Homo-oligomer: A and B are copies of this chain.
Amino acid sequence: MDKGDSKSKLISTATRLFAERGLYGVSVRELAKAAGVSISMVSYYFGGKEGLYSSVLQEQFSSFSHIEEINRVETETLKKIESYIRWIIVRYRNNPYLLRFYTSELTNPTQFFSLIVQPAIGKVIQVLVQIIEEGISNNIFRKDLNPVDTVLAMAGMVNYYILSTLVTQELINHSPERDEVLIRHYMDIFTKGILR
Protein backbone atom coordinates (compact mmCIF):
# COMPACT_ATOMS: atom_id res chain seq x y z
CA MET A 1 0.00 0.00 0.00
CA ASP A 2 1.33 3.44 -0.91
CA LYS A 3 2.26 6.08 1.59
CA GLY A 4 -0.70 8.12 2.73
CA ASP A 5 -3.10 5.82 1.00
CA SER A 6 -4.52 4.74 4.32
CA LYS A 7 -5.57 8.30 5.02
CA SER A 8 -7.71 8.77 1.94
CA LYS A 9 -9.07 5.24 2.19
CA LEU A 10 -10.19 6.03 5.73
CA ILE A 11 -11.88 9.27 4.66
CA SER A 12 -13.87 7.71 1.86
CA THR A 13 -14.93 4.73 3.96
CA ALA A 14 -15.80 6.94 6.90
CA THR A 15 -17.91 9.19 4.69
CA ARG A 16 -20.12 6.29 3.74
CA LEU A 17 -20.36 4.76 7.20
CA PHE A 18 -20.88 8.01 9.13
CA ALA A 19 -23.55 9.00 6.63
CA GLU A 20 -25.32 5.68 7.01
CA ARG A 21 -25.25 5.43 10.78
CA GLY A 22 -23.97 8.67 12.23
CA LEU A 23 -20.97 9.48 14.37
CA TYR A 24 -22.05 7.21 17.22
CA GLY A 25 -23.35 4.38 15.06
CA VAL A 26 -19.95 3.36 13.74
CA SER A 27 -17.01 2.01 15.71
CA VAL A 28 -13.39 2.70 14.89
CA ARG A 29 -12.85 -1.06 14.65
CA GLU A 30 -15.50 -1.48 11.98
CA LEU A 31 -14.29 1.57 10.14
CA ALA A 32 -10.69 0.43 9.97
CA LYS A 33 -11.73 -3.04 8.91
CA ALA A 34 -13.99 -1.71 6.14
CA ALA A 35 -11.19 0.55 4.94
CA GLY A 36 -8.75 -2.34 5.02
CA VAL A 37 -6.30 -0.59 7.31
CA SER A 38 -5.21 -0.97 10.88
CA ILE A 39 -7.29 0.50 13.67
CA SER A 40 -4.35 2.52 14.90
CA MET A 41 -4.30 4.55 11.67
CA VAL A 42 -7.33 6.51 12.83
CA SER A 43 -5.48 7.95 15.79
CA TYR A 44 -2.30 8.31 13.78
CA TYR A 45 -3.85 10.46 11.05
CA PHE A 46 -6.86 12.09 12.69
CA GLY A 47 -6.21 11.95 16.42
CA GLY A 48 -9.26 9.75 16.98
CA LYS A 49 -12.74 9.09 15.70
CA GLU A 50 -14.02 12.64 16.16
CA GLY A 51 -11.08 14.05 14.24
CA LEU A 52 -11.90 11.74 11.35
CA TYR A 53 -15.54 12.83 11.48
CA SER A 54 -14.44 16.46 11.42
CA SER A 55 -12.32 15.83 8.31
CA VAL A 56 -15.23 14.15 6.59
CA LEU A 57 -17.51 17.05 7.47
CA GLN A 58 -15.00 19.58 6.16
CA GLU A 59 -14.79 17.78 2.83
CA GLN A 60 -18.57 17.43 2.55
CA PHE A 61 -19.30 21.10 3.08
CA SER A 62 -16.42 22.49 1.04
CA SER A 63 -18.61 22.32 -2.07
CA PHE A 64 -20.98 24.95 -0.65
CA SER A 65 -18.76 27.83 -1.69
CA HIS A 66 -19.84 27.14 -5.28
CA ILE A 67 -22.83 29.45 -4.70
CA GLU A 68 -20.52 32.42 -5.21
CA GLU A 69 -19.48 31.07 -8.59
CA ILE A 70 -23.14 30.84 -9.60
CA ASN A 71 -23.82 34.37 -8.44
CA ARG A 72 -20.86 35.59 -10.48
CA VAL A 73 -21.27 33.80 -13.81
CA GLU A 74 -25.05 34.23 -14.16
CA THR A 75 -26.33 37.70 -14.87
CA GLU A 76 -30.12 37.36 -14.92
CA THR A 77 -31.85 36.95 -11.57
CA LEU A 78 -34.08 34.11 -12.74
CA LYS A 79 -31.12 32.30 -14.27
CA LYS A 80 -29.31 32.50 -10.95
CA ILE A 81 -32.23 30.83 -9.25
CA GLU A 82 -32.44 28.13 -11.88
CA SER A 83 -28.71 27.56 -11.57
CA TYR A 84 -29.05 27.24 -7.83
CA ILE A 85 -31.79 24.62 -8.11
CA ARG A 86 -29.82 22.64 -10.68
CA TRP A 87 -26.68 22.84 -8.60
CA ILE A 88 -28.43 21.47 -5.47
CA ILE A 89 -29.89 18.54 -7.37
CA VAL A 90 -26.64 17.71 -9.16
CA ARG A 91 -24.76 18.07 -5.89
CA TYR A 92 -26.92 15.44 -4.22
CA ARG A 93 -26.69 13.20 -7.27
CA ASN A 94 -22.90 13.36 -7.18
CA ASN A 95 -22.76 12.88 -3.45
CA PRO A 96 -25.52 10.73 -2.00
CA TYR A 97 -24.16 11.17 1.52
CA LEU A 98 -24.25 14.93 1.79
CA LEU A 99 -27.91 15.26 2.76
CA ARG A 100 -27.39 12.95 5.70
CA PHE A 101 -24.66 15.11 7.17
CA TYR A 102 -26.69 18.19 6.34
CA THR A 103 -29.85 17.18 8.19
CA SER A 104 -28.01 15.37 10.92
CA GLU A 105 -25.97 18.46 11.79
CA LEU A 106 -29.00 20.75 11.58
CA THR A 107 -31.08 18.64 13.93
CA ASN A 108 -28.38 17.00 16.05
CA PRO A 109 -25.44 19.38 15.82
CA THR A 110 -22.07 18.00 16.87
CA GLN A 111 -19.26 20.14 18.28
CA PHE A 112 -18.18 20.86 14.69
CA PHE A 113 -21.42 22.50 13.63
CA SER A 114 -20.51 26.11 14.33
CA LEU A 115 -17.07 25.87 12.78
CA ILE A 116 -17.88 23.92 9.61
CA VAL A 117 -21.60 23.57 8.92
CA GLN A 118 -23.07 26.91 9.99
CA PRO A 119 -20.64 29.03 7.92
CA ALA A 120 -21.11 26.85 4.82
CA ILE A 121 -24.91 26.90 4.85
CA GLY A 122 -24.98 30.48 6.09
CA LYS A 123 -22.99 31.63 3.08
CA VAL A 124 -25.42 29.98 0.65
CA ILE A 125 -28.44 31.54 2.35
CA GLN A 126 -26.77 34.94 2.44
CA VAL A 127 -26.08 34.92 -1.29
CA LEU A 128 -29.59 33.68 -2.08
CA VAL A 129 -31.13 36.45 0.02
CA GLN A 130 -29.04 38.91 -1.96
CA ILE A 131 -30.35 37.45 -5.23
CA ILE A 132 -33.97 37.76 -4.11
CA GLU A 133 -33.43 41.32 -2.91
CA GLU A 134 -31.88 42.15 -6.26
CA GLY A 135 -34.96 40.71 -7.98
CA ILE A 136 -37.23 42.86 -5.83
CA SER A 137 -35.19 46.00 -6.54
CA ASN A 138 -35.30 45.33 -10.26
CA ASN A 139 -39.07 44.97 -10.17
CA ILE A 140 -38.94 41.34 -11.26
CA PHE A 141 -40.37 40.07 -7.96
CA ARG A 142 -43.21 41.32 -5.82
CA LYS A 143 -42.39 44.10 -3.37
CA ASP A 144 -44.12 42.43 -0.41
CA LEU A 145 -41.82 39.41 -0.28
CA ASN A 146 -39.80 38.75 2.84
CA PRO A 147 -36.45 37.80 1.28
CA VAL A 148 -35.40 35.28 3.93
CA ASP A 149 -38.77 33.50 3.98
CA THR A 150 -38.65 33.41 0.19
CA VAL A 151 -35.17 31.90 0.14
CA LEU A 152 -36.20 29.24 2.65
CA ALA A 153 -39.27 28.40 0.55
CA MET A 154 -37.08 27.90 -2.51
CA ALA A 155 -34.33 25.97 -0.73
CA GLY A 156 -36.97 23.90 1.05
CA MET A 157 -38.65 22.80 -2.17
CA VAL A 158 -35.51 21.35 -3.64
CA ASN A 159 -33.88 19.98 -0.50
CA TYR A 160 -37.08 18.27 0.57
CA TYR A 161 -37.45 16.64 -2.81
CA ILE A 162 -34.25 14.75 -2.12
CA LEU A 163 -35.06 14.19 1.54
CA SER A 164 -38.36 12.56 0.64
CA THR A 165 -36.82 9.99 -1.68
CA LEU A 166 -37.36 7.05 0.65
CA VAL A 167 -41.08 7.74 1.09
CA THR A 168 -41.91 8.68 -2.49
CA GLN A 169 -40.05 6.02 -4.44
CA GLU A 170 -43.30 4.34 -5.38
CA LEU A 171 -45.04 7.58 -6.32
CA ILE A 172 -42.51 9.31 -8.49
CA ASN A 173 -39.54 8.67 -10.74
CA HIS A 174 -36.45 9.82 -8.86
CA SER A 175 -33.99 9.07 -11.65
CA PRO A 176 -31.64 11.78 -13.01
CA GLU A 177 -33.35 11.63 -16.41
CA ARG A 178 -36.27 13.50 -14.94
CA ASP A 179 -34.10 16.21 -13.33
CA GLU A 180 -34.54 18.84 -16.04
CA VAL A 181 -38.32 18.38 -16.01
CA LEU A 182 -38.25 18.71 -12.26
CA ILE A 183 -36.18 21.89 -12.40
CA ARG A 184 -38.56 23.47 -14.90
CA HIS A 185 -41.45 22.38 -12.74
CA TYR A 186 -40.00 23.88 -9.57
CA MET A 187 -39.04 27.10 -11.31
CA ASP A 188 -42.63 27.32 -12.48
CA ILE A 189 -44.20 26.74 -9.08
CA PHE A 190 -41.75 29.07 -7.37
CA THR A 191 -42.16 31.95 -9.80
CA LYS A 192 -45.79 31.64 -10.88
CA GLY A 193 -47.44 29.57 -8.16
CA ILE A 194 -49.98 26.82 -8.65
CA LEU A 195 -53.14 28.84 -9.30
CA ARG A 196 -54.68 28.60 -12.74
Q: Which residues of A contact B (CB under 8 A)?
A: 19-25, 99-100, 103-104, 106-109, 113, 117-118, 121-122, 125, 129, 132, 135, 139-143, 145-146, 148-150, 152-153, 155-161, 163-168, 171-172, 182, 185-186, 189-196
Contact = CB atoms under 8 A, between A and B. Distances in A.
A100 B109 CA distance: 11
A129 B171 contact: yes
Contact of A125 (B113, B135, B168): B168
Contacts of A19: 107-108
Contacts of A103: 103-104, 106-107, 163
How many copies of this kind of chain does the complex include? 2
Given A159-B156, A193-B192, A185 B146 contact: yes
B21 A108 contact: yes
A115 to B, nearest CB: 13
Overall SS of chain A's interface: helix
A77 to B, nearest CB: 10
A186 B141 contact: no
27 contacts: A19-B107, A21-B24, A22-B24, A22-B108, A25-B108, A99-B107, A104-B104, A106-B164, A106-B166, A107-B163, A118-B166, A139-B196, A141-B195, A141-B196, A149-B185, A150-B189, A152-B160, A153-B161, A153-B186, A155-B160, A156-B159, A156-B163, A159-B163, A189-B190, A190-B193, A191-B195, A192-B192
Contacts of A152: 157, 160-161, 164, 168, 172
A18 to B, nearest CB: 10
A146 to B, nearest CB: 6
